[in-house]
Each structure stands twice: as C-alpha cells, then as structure tokens.
Amino acid sequence: MSEYTAKDFKKGQPRWCPGCGDHFFLASLHKAMAELGVAPHDTAVISGIGCSSRLPYYMNTYAMQTIHGRAAAISTGCKVANPKITVWQISGDGDGLAIGGNHFIHAVRRNIDLNMILLNNRIYGLTKGQYSPTSPRGFVSKSSPYGTVEDPFHPAELCFGARGRFFARAVATDGPGTVEILKLLPITKVRLYVRFFRTVSSLMMEHTNRYIRKKAVPRMPFIWNMANRCCLVRKKNTD
C-alpha cells in the first residue's frame, strides 16, 4: 500500500482551456504516481514548450519547463546526472516530433530509462492552430488553408525504428486505462514511450474525436513490449 495520495503530487491551478484533454491526463498522472509510491522528492517532471508542456507547473515534484523541442535532451541530462531519480518527460506532438524529433529518436535509442510521454492532439494548440507532424494529409489549418500535402509521422513506427522496447497508446479521457499504462513505465526498465490522444477544446476536438472513432482507438489501451515480444490490448471497454 502506497504511503502517498494523488494530493501529494498536486500543485497550483491548471490554466488549460475547459475541456482540454490535458486536465484528464494530469489527474491520471497524479493518481498513477501516488499508486507507484515513488516519493515526490525522487521524481522529476520535465517538458518543452506548448500547451501540454505547462504540466510541470502543476506537479509537486522537481519540475522544469525547458525550451522548445529540448525536453528529451534535458531529461537525458537529468537522468545521467542522477540515475536514481525517476524522470518523466512530457511533450506534445509539435514539441516532441517537430523541433524535438531528433532528440526524441536518440533518447529512445540510448535507453537510459526515461518515461517519455507524448500528448498528441495532432495540431499546434498554443500557437492557435497550425498543422503538426501528426496532422493527417489534407488537414485544413491556419498554416495549410488548402490542406496539408504531407503524410504524418506514425509515432509508434519512430519508436520501434529507434529500437524502442515499450510502446503504449491510449485516450487521455480514459482515466483507468491511462493510469494502468503509466504504472507500467517505471517498472519496465527499458526504452519507454507512451502516446496519448487528447483533444484541444477549441481547435481540434471534433476532428480528433472523429479520428479516434474511425481508427477504433477509444478506451482500449494498446501496449507493446519489445523486450518480451508481446502485445496486449486491454479488452475491457471503459466507456
């Protein structure tokens, strides 16, 4: 039984838009950390720049919001300097896969036991709606008024291509599934990467929800562990 509760990891008042999936993920992260039982003073949460990267402000742990695209690099430095600390890296699809894409690939390749989280809403939310590396071909945005002509990254393929050992995917609004996945991260001791679909209330909600329905993603976490070559799709639907 853990001596900590979710309240022990909470700090401040989140300033995301009402309905944003970041609220759901933050609540799940607090709960997962409490159930894992790692002390707040043994935990660091590090992010880059973006809506999701405000998350460290709401963590009662060591925390740092760094510069755009460099969350993986600074998380790597933190872990190398203090291997005993549990490091959680939080990035969005722009911060993690555009300006930070190369850092992401090499952080996975180096395998230094980081808990890497991608909060993927498939758009730049903080800068008001440009398309991102995970936006679908043809997506109309402020920076692509006639639709994008690029095919999107598939984050799972990037992870496996860099010899990642663990990949999981869920929807941020699925609280039990998110907590279940987050609790697996610090105990696997391999290259770690988790992708969460989340909505941006004012920019991308309907498109993201439509994508989730089309791709059969909702409420069924997908977990792949390359160390044991096993795949798990949790069968229970938590709608």
Tell whether 123 is covered by a domain.
yes
Tell whether 214 is covered by a domain.
yes
* Averaged pLDDT, 51-62: 94
Tell whether 239 is covered by a domain.
no
Inter-residue long-range contacts of 138-147, CB under 8 Å, 24+ positions, other chains counted: 139/207
Tell whether 203 is covered by a domain.
yes
DSSP string, 162-214: TT-SEEEEEETT-HHHHHHHHHHHHHH-S-EEEEEE---TTTTHHHHHHHHHH
Higher-scoring residue by pLDDT: 198, 62? 62
Tell whether 238 is covered by a domain.
no
Range of the domain at 33: 6-10+18-233
Tell whether 175 is covered by a domain.
yes
pLDDT at 193: 55
pLDDT at 82: 95
pLDDT at 224: 59
Higher-scoring residue by pLDDT: 9, 207? 9
pLDDT digits (tens, 9 = 90+) for 128-150: 778 888 888 998 888 888 988 98
Give the contacts of 112 (CB within 8 A, at least 6 positions apart). 76, 79, 80
pTM of the predicted protein model: 0.82
Q: Please state, for a pLDDT cut of 90, what percent of the chain lies above it.
A: 36
Confidence of residue 195 (pLDDT cuts 50, 70, 90): low
> What angle do helix axes 71-81 and 101-110 make, rounded to 10 degrees?
30
What CATH number has the domain bearing residue 175?
3.40.50.970
| Residue 141 CB-half CA count within 13 A | 25
Nearest residue to 152 via CA among 72, 218, 71, 211 = 211
Check whether 220 has a pLDDT greater than 70. Answer: no
pLDDT digits (tens, 9 = 90+) for 223-233: 655 555 444 54
Tell whether 81 is covered by a domain.
yes
Check whether 100 has a pLDDT greater than 80. Answer: yes
pLDDT digits (tens, 9 = 90+) for 11-56: 999 998 888 888 999 999 999 999 999 999 999 999 999 888 899 9
Check whether 66 has a pLDDT greater than 60. Answer: yes
Tell whether 1 is covered by a domain.
no
Q: What is the mean pLDDT of the chain?
A: 80
Give the total number of structural domains in the chain: 1
